[in-house]
């Protein structure tokens, strides 16, 4: 068995390639189910964000064919298999573990140290669990990465020295103008990233914000919520509107009145097009006023060819990170410590992963001893009918304690032998040991039910 990763990210591919790999949220369950049906695939998790698309697989090497996965990705992206190979990366086992720990912590993010990725990693696992494609291996890997990330962000200042894409967009506008108070900002979209951007704008003094969404009711509700939020948190003594909504059909008019635009929608096509800019320029009637467009969407929502239009400046996700990095030196010191902790965490995961070979035997010895215990308790109940429920419970508790002590050493030995890789010149130590204590051989073992795995974890066996 092996853990594999296929993916693309901002680290390896430019945005024009990444956007072809992007998976719509509604398509993720379908892809999870289809990939799970491939020969040799036991588990699948898909992590898709604005800066990465990654497929995590747990596979049987004797059955799984890499070509199946490469062709599948090629069909989705429209690339030939050779193009998929040249534009994506692959990792296995320990390298996958190291990678997801870095990803969940934000060390592999475009905005290093940002925390938004943590919720995306959790969401990826939740998606896979809901369609039953995430099993014990990938669930454990992702949960360990999430727990590690939470500890890092609790015990270091990494998130205080970082931006997420939304706050980075606002920082970029601040670099452009210094003071946002008199500037008019247009927000295209009404999702989480735009909400974060709106709050950051308001926190930094912006007072003229317009939100446009294809869903006009959503835009109106968004503006209302933001006005309530800023009044409650910053201006409880006065009633003032800072955020307005506009109709999507009037986008050229909204663009004409803006100094800066932040765009982040789930649309797979361009929202700001040559046509909308031509209409905007007509409304402006020859005004030389510049327009700064920040595109946080992947696939992009702003036609990149508009960079050639005089007075139009566009920043996409790849360009924002280059512009914004105030805390690089201080952050690098913290990152060194985090990387050392990741190495230690991966060692622990690898140890746990190798010990999984012993799980069927641990399950069997626990199951056999539980059966003996139950049989003994039943026998006592029949031979000593005067024992009351409290006394029987006390006897059962002590008997369980005896059983736990008796099987503790064999279980520990199984784990140690499981961590030893069998060589050509040496028989599998785990197989020899379990045979010596009368347990079944591995080929006779079946997959341990998830509820029994949970019981083993509760007992401290895993």
pLDDT in tens, 255-278: 999 999 999 999 989 999 999 999
Provide the pLDDT confidence category of residue 454 given band limits of 50, 70 and 90: low
Q: So what's the pLDDT on residue 438?
A: 81
Q: So what's the pLDDT on residue 354?
A: 83
Both tokens assigned to 198: 């709106």
What's the whole-number mean pLDDT along residues 372-386? 88
Q: What percent of the chain has pLDDT over 70?
A: 92
The binding site for NADP(+) comprises 189-194
Q: So what's the pLDDT on residue 422?
A: 61
CATH code of domain 2-161+332-353: 3.30.460.30
Provide the pLDDT confidence category of residue 381 given band limits of 50, 70 and 90: confident
What's the whole-number mean pLDDT along residues 321-336? 79
For residue range 388-443, list pLDDT tens digits in order. Answer: 888 888 998 998 889 888 888 888 888 888 777 665 444 578 888 888 888 765 44
The binding site comprises 49-52, 109, 114-116, 120, 189-194
Q: So what's the pLDDT on residue 442?
A: 47
Instruction: Order the strands of the 291-295 sheet from edge to edge.
Output: 243-247, 208-213, 184-188, 260-263, 291-295, 312-315
What's the whole-number mean pLDDT along residues 121-138? 95
Give the CA radius of gyration of the chain.
Answer: 28
Provide the pLDDT confidence category of residue 361 given band limits of 50, 70 and 90: confident
Using the CB atoms, write b or e for 105-123: b if 16+ within 10 Å: bbbbbbbbbbbbbbebbbe
pTM: 0.79
| Annotation says 292 is catalytic | no
What's the whole-number mean pLDDT along residues 438-455? 57
Q: Say which residue, 49 or 459, is predicted with more confidence.
A: 49
CA distance 389 to 371: 20
Q: What is the rounded end-to-end Cα distance, in angstroms, of the chain?
A: 18
Using the CB atoms, write b or e for 45-67: b if 16+ within 10 Å: bbbbbbbbbbbbbbbeeeebeee
CB atoms within 10 A of CB 412: 12
Is omega for the bond preceding 299 within 30 degrees of 0, making it cis? yes
Q: So what's the pLDDT on residue 443?
A: 46
What's the whole-number mean pLDDT along residues 178-183? 89
Give the start-to-end residue ranges of the domains of the chain: 2-161+332-353, 165-324, 357-459
Q: So what's the pLDDT on residue 343?
A: 94
Say which of 50, 206, 293, 312 is annotated catalytic.
Answer: 50
Q: What percent of the chain has pLDDT over 90?
A: 59
What's the whole-number mean pLDDT along residues 114-142? 94
The binding site for substrate comprises 49-52, 109, 114-116, 120
Provide the pLDDT confidence category of residue 226 given band limits of 50, 70 and 90: very high
CA dihedral in degrees (251, 257, 258, 262; nearest 10)? -20
Q: So what's the pLDDT on residue 409?
A: 86
Long-range contacts of residues 412-417, Cβ cutoff 8 Å, at least 24 apart: 414/358, 414/361, 414/362, 415/355, 415/358, 415/362, 417/358
Please say if the pLDDT value at position 5 is more than 60: yes
What's the whole-number mean pLDDT along residues 319-327? 74
CATH code of domain 165-324: 3.40.50.720
For residue range 71-119, list pLDDT tens digits in order. Answer: 999 999 999 999 999 999 999 999 999 999 999 999 999 888 888 899 9
Provide the pLDDT confidence category of residue 444 given band limits of 50, 70 and 90: very low
Provide the pLDDT confidence category of residue 355 given band limits of 50, 70 and 90: confident
For 372-402, the DSSP string reads: HHHHHHHHHHHH-TT--HHHHHHHHHHHHHH
């Amino acid at each position: 068995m092996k853990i594999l990763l296929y993916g693309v990210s901002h680290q390896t591919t430019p945005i024009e390639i990444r956007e072809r790999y992007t998976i719509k949220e509604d398509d993720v369950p379908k892809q999870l189910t289809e990939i799970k049906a491939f020969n040799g695939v036991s588990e699948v998790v898909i992590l898709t964000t604005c800066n990465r698309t990654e497929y995590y697989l747990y596979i049987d090497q004797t059955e799984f064919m890499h070509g199946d996965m490469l062709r599948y990705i090629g069909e989705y992206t429209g690339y030939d298999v050779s193009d998929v190979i040249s534009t994506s990366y692959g990792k296995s086992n320990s390298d996958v573990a190291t990678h997801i720990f870095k990803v969940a912590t934000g060390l592999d993010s475009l905005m290093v140290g940002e925390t938004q990725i943590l919720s995306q990693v959790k969401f990826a696992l939740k998606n896979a669990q809901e369609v039953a494609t995430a099993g014990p291996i990938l669930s454990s890997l992702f949960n360990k990465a999430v727990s590690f990330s939470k500890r890092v962000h609790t015990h270091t200042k990494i998130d205080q020295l970082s931006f997420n894409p939304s706050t980075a967009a606002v920082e970029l506008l601040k670099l452009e103008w210094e003071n946002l108070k008199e500037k008019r900002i247009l927000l295209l979209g009404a999702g989480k990233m735009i909400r974060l951007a709106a709050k950051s704008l308001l926190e930094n003094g912006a007072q003229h914000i317009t939100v446009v969404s294809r869903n006009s009711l959503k835009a109106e509700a968004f503006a209302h919520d933001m006005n309530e939020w800023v009044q409650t948190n910053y201006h409880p003594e006065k009633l003032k509107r800072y955020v307005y909504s506009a109709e999507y059909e009037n986008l050229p008019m909204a663009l004409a009145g803006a100094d800066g635009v932040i765009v982040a929608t789930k649309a797979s096509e361009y929202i700001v097009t040559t046509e909308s800019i031509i209409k905007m320029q007509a409304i402006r009637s020859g005004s030389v006023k510049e327009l700064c467009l920040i595109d946080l969407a992947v696939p992009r929502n702003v036609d990149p060819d508009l960079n050639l239009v005089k007075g139009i400046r566009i920043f996409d996700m790849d360009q924002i990170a280059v512009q914004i990095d105030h805390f690089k030196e201080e952050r690098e010191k913290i990152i060194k410590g985090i990387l050392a902790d990741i190495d230690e965490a991966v060692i622990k995961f690898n140890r746990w992963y190798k010990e999984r070979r012993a799980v069927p035997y641990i399950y069997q010895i626990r199951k056999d001893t539980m059966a003996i215990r139950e049989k003994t308790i039943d026998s006592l109940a029949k031979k000593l009918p005067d024992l009351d429920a409290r006394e029987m419970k006390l006897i059962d508790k002590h008997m369980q304690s005896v059983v736990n002590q008796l099987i503790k050493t064999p279980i520990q030995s199984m784990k140690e032998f499981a961590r030893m890789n069998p060589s050509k010149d040496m028989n599998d130590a785990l197989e020899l040991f379990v045979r010596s204590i009368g347990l079944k051989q591995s080929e006779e073992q079946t997959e341990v039910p998830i509820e029994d795995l949970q019981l083993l974890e509760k007992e401290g066996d895993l």
